[in-house]
Amino acid sequence: MKLENLLRHDKSSFLQMLESTPEMYRQCLEKAEGIEAPEAERILVSGMGGSAIPGQIICEILDDPRMAFNRSFKLPSWAGDDVLVICVSYSGNTWETLNVFNEALKRRCHLYCISSNGKMLEKCREKGIPFFKVPENLLPRASLPWLLTPIASLTEKSLNVNGLLRDIRETVPELERIVDEYSPENGGGEAFKIAEKMRGRLPVVYAYKPYTSTAYRFKTQVNENAKYPCHVCEVPESIHNEICTLYSDAKLDTIILAVRDPMMEAYEKLMDIMLNVMEEFNPGIELVNIIVHGSSRLGKALSTILRLDYVSFYL
């Protein structure tokens, strides 16, 4: 599809929100620094859909056993009065998250909510539960800065860890560079080229920790923005199952996108093994390497997410 046609079809102004991403992080950082958080033994971030992604990202980046995320309408059995439950729902009306909220209240968990409005904020005001108010004029799938930044702040203060907010702040200039490089005025850059290669093919994304949440975010953005299927596989797990599909007679027209970090040497060797076997069984298969950039793991994840958001838009 031609670039000008894509822009005409952007009825929800998603591109404008993408371009606002760096400024959204700046605003969020200023507001999130004032968050007061209780000390807790553990944190559980609960949400669904796009509201679950930020908690998954922070959990994967932090890699701390005291932190977990939850995509369910049920509160895990281990969550008690020593746990901070962060309920995230952009709309404030996600029934699964509201159910977790109610269970957390009954178990006397510490509670904190992140939302734009809805029943969740009504309950917070009624029960005196602290909350972080997100702007109401955003698309939920474009609200990542407003959902992720307060989670980072709560995590730093409750678990006494450092660096998450700093990493976000230091990544903003890189996000500005991506917005400029991938803009329609510059022909969409690498993002438009990748989207062109994906069109008419089934994209299969391979990633390893701490970037599996980045890959999953891309899958959901492709689903929502492009109304297009996308499959995500984790390395090294996929070496034990996905690789078996190469022996099938059914050959789908796929394109492989591999999210890669040259600093993760052990994972890179496993990724090479996986991709080499694929190319052996499928000569000429289209392979796109998505190399992460940044000075921190969180910075690499956030900048890659923005790059891939543009791909999903141009698709």
The residue with tokens 């972080």 is: 132
220 and 147 within one domain: no
Domain end among 118, 133, 162: 162
Q: Which residues of 260-272 are buried (b: 16+ CB within 10 A; e: fewer)?
A: bbeebeebbebbe
Give CA–CA dist 70/213, Å, rounded: 13
Let me know if residue 85 belongs to a domain. Answer: yes
Report pLDDT for 300.
Answer: 98
Let me know if residue 153 belongs to a domain. Answer: yes
257 and 133 within one domain: no
Report pLDDT for 86.
Answer: 98
147 and 181 within one domain: no
Total tally of structural domains belonging to the chain: 2
64 and 38 within one domain: yes
Let me know if residue 8 belongs to a domain. Answer: no
Let me know if residue 29 belongs to a domain. Answer: no
Burial class of residue 39, CB neighbours in 10 A (0-12, 13-18, 19+): exposed
Positive or negative: CA dihedral 193, 220, 228, 276: positive
141 and 54 within one domain: yes
Domain end among 162, 183, 212: 162
Report pLDDT for 247.
Answer: 64
Kindly report, residue by residue over 139-196, the tens digit of the pLDDT.
Answer: 889 999 999 999 999 999 999 999 999 999 999 999 999 999 999 999 999 999 999 9
Domain end among 162, 190, 205: 162
Give CA–CA dist 14/88, Å, rounded: 21
Let me know if residue 197 belongs to a domain. Answer: yes
195 and 158 within one domain: no
134 and 252 within one domain: no
Containing H/E element for 234? Answer: strand 231-234
Report pLDDT for 269.
Answer: 96
pTM: 0.95
188 and 76 within one domain: no
Report pLDDT for 53.
Answer: 96
Contact 107, 75 (CB under 8 A): yes
| Domain span including residue 144 | 34-162
Let me know if residue 1 belongs to a domain. Answer: no
195 and 146 within one domain: no
Say which CATH number the domain at 61 has.
3.40.50.10490
Let me know if residue 264 belongs to a domain. Answer: yes
211 and 128 within one domain: no
Residue ranges of the chain with per-residue pLDDT less than 50: none
Report pLDDT for 252.
Answer: 76
253 and 150 within one domain: no
